[in-house]
Amino acid sequence: MPLEWSGSSPDLLLAVDRTSGRPLRAQLEHGLRDAIRNGRLELGERLPSSRELARALGLSRGLVQECYAQLQAEGYLVTRPGSATRVAAGATAPPVTAPSQPAAPRLLADFRSGVPDLRSFPVHDWSRAMREAAAGMPTEEFDYGDPRGTRALREVLAGYLRRVRAAAAAPDHIVVCNGYAQGLGLALRALADAGVRTVAFEDPGSPATVAAAAAAAGMRTVAVPVDERGIDVRALAATDARAVLVTPAHQWPTGVALAPERRLALIEWARDRDAHILEDDYDAEFRYDREPVGVLQGLEPRRVIGLGTVSKSLAPALRIGWMTCPPDLAEPLAEQKHRSDRGAPGLDQHALARLIESGRFDRHLRRMRVTYAARRTALLAALAEHAPTLPVTGLAAGFHAVAHLPAGTGEDDVIAAARARGVGLYGMSTCRASRADTPAQLVLGFGNVSERGITAGVAAIGDLLTGRPERRGRGKGTGGRDSGSYGPSTPGIGPVANKTGE
């Protein structure tokens, strides 16, 4: 698509060589022809005015006008009264295109996990926050600034985390980063510099993400099993790990909360081992049937690195996250951030600070809790009607559930059959360190699916979920189901698709 310019004339890079002995007009004509033929100037693209091009190249305006007239006569350019000179139709080389790929079919419903409701992003509030930030941002903060992040955001985040997550947060011990993945990578590199050689992670969990970050830091990984009370701390203690990544508030992907006695045992392990806990405060904003639980970092700020992000609360595209650092790691983590990219975008940080301190962020979260709760209800109702024997767990918080397929059912078979019916499903096997596909389980993300889409999607695949595929077109019964089988009080365990969007 050609550039559209308003007001001033566009710039154009052309060169003339006054020492070559070749006429300047011929050089200019040749340069313009080549730019049009090779596609550097696109069909319909506006050229600089003759006055501006003459000034830029140090030529006479008359020479440029003669050049334009010649190229117009040759069919390269077109000029209309009252309009700029533009590249004529048919003058450019046809673009070289790769063989067209068939468009992916539109899905009736896509139960991809880890994605919030993108349509509900608070565009008006964010635009307002950006305008306020741009207008009020001190001039000196348009420089590179502190690699830890802007002081304004770190102060607002510290207050917010203390208020909402019972964190022991101080502005000087917060480092702003570009999302969860970067925060994890920076933390592991800082720990590696401090002599840590092995990092443990929850199994099921995010093996691919942890493996990539650990490899970049020169560390090895070890998987530690998760059960209905969270990570097995005894199994962790049997490893040589001196760091562990956990999701205690809402375990990814099983949905269980770390039991109180294991929270204390995990902190005791860190103290005894001279180890650190990397706490991913995943899905903590969205809970339905249980009281909020504070972060581990609030219990032992010297041993816990808190990782947070707005990828689930607002949108992954913002790429804003943070680390709540132990005092002795604050400077090493800031140095890692400085080496990585000199700091996160300052204007976006000021905008997020404005959004939070104005109360508009809290208002958005309250609205989204209602939205996700309604979608959870729609999912349960649809499953009760179309797959009444399917156990579903992990629904106490967040916006995904774990569906436990009947014994003998293949994850891949169900996923492929559902895709053929226009429904996107995702298996647990990618979250297991072993990649085992048994027991067969699915992660049903409902954050970015409308209630209508949830109902239609489940209706299309209900027979697949119960292991009794039916012919399309046959009617289904509407057997009842005890709602307790879905209850968040029955925490399910088992892997789901890899955590995405961070």
| Same domain for 268 and 137 | yes
Return the half-sphere exposure (C-beta side, CA atoms, 13 A cut-off) of residue 68.
21
Q: What does each C-alpha distance from 192 to 26, 276, 432 come to in angstroms?
A: 62, 11, 25
- Report the number of distinct structural domains present in the chain: 3
User: In whole angstroms, what is the distance from residue 478 CA to residue 475 CA?
Assistant: 10
Exposure string for 94-126, b = 16+ CB within 10 A, e = fewer: eeeeeeeeeeeeebbbbbbbbbbbeebebeebb
| Residue corresponding to tokens 């097995």 | 232
pLDDT, residue 90, reads 77
| Same domain for 373 and 344 | no
pLDDT, residue 282, reads 82
Residue 1 lies in a domain: yes
Judging by beta carbons within 10 Å of its beta carbon (0-12, 13-18, 19+), is residue 211 exposed, middle or buried? middle
Residue 107 lies in a domain: no
Using only C-alpha atoms, the chain has a radius of gyration, in whole angstroms, of 29
| Same domain for 388 and 345 | no
User: In whole angstroms, what is the distance from residue 473 CA to residue 19 CA?
Assistant: 80
Residue 157 lies in a domain: yes
| Same domain for 204 and 91 | no
Q: Which amino acid would we find at residue 457?
A: G
Q: What are phi and psi of 127, to 5 degrees?
A: -60, -40
Examine residue 488 and say whether the peptide bond preceding it is cis (omega within 30 degrees of 0): no
Residue 105 lies in a domain: no
Q: What are phi and psi of 198, to 5 degrees?
A: -135, 130
| Same domain for 381 and 315 | no
Domain final residue, candidates 96, 129, 156: 96
Closest by Cα among 408, 401, 405, 428 to 486: 401
pLDDT, residue 289, reads 72
Which residues are within 8 A (CB) of 298 and not within 5 positions of it... i.e. 6 or more apart?
A: 165, 166, 167, 168
Q: What does each C-alpha distance from 276 to 124, 265, 301 come to in angstroms?
A: 40, 13, 10
- 404: domain CATH number is 3.90.1150.10
| Residue corresponding to tokens 């040759």 | 74
Q: Which amino acid would we find at residue 445?
A: G
Domain final residue, candidates 362, 391, 424: 362
CB distance 408 to 466 below 8 Å: no
| Same domain for 319 and 181 | yes
Quickly count helices (H) and strands (E) in the chain. 14, 15
| pLDDT digit string, tens, across residues 288-327 | 877 778 999 999 999 999 999 999 999 999 999 999 999 9
Residue 79 lies in a domain: yes
Which residues are within 8 A (CB) of 104 and not within 5 positions of it... i.e. 6 or more apart?
A: none
- 185: domain CATH number is 3.40.640.10
CB distance 251 to 225 below 8 Å: no
pLDDT, residue 468, reads 75
| Three-state secondary structure readout of 64-88 | HHHHHHHHHHCCCEECCCCCCCEEC
The pair of three-digit structure tokens given for residue 410, joined into one six-digit string:
């293949």
CB distance 390 to 425 below 8 Å: no
Residue 102 lies in a domain: no
pLDDT, residue 424, reads 98
| Same domain for 271 and 166 | yes
Residue 469 lies in a domain: yes
Domain final residue, candidates 330, 346, 362: 362
| Same domain for 170 and 197 | yes
Q: Which amino acid would we find at residue 487?
A: G
Residue 438 lies in a domain: yes
| Three-state secondary structure readout of 316-380 | HHHCCEEEECCHHHHHHHHHHHHHHHCCCCHHHHHHHHHHHHCCHHHHHHHHHHHHHHHHHHHHH
List helix spans (H) across 387-450: 411-420
| Same domain for 136 and 231 | yes
356: containing domain:
121-362
The pTM score is: 0.84
* β strands within 51-197, DSSP E: 77-78, 86-87, 109-110, 174-177
| pLDDT digit string, tens, across residues 261-278 | 999 999 999 999 999 999
| Same domain for 330 and 224 | yes
- 1: domain CATH number is 1.10.10.10
In three-state secondary structure terms, 400 is strand
| Same domain for 413 and 340 | no
Q: Which residues of the chain have pLDDT under 70?
A: 1-9, 92-100, 103, 470-502
| Same domain for 16 and 69 | yes
Beta bridge partners of 495: none
Report the Cα 480 to chain-centroid distance in Å. 38
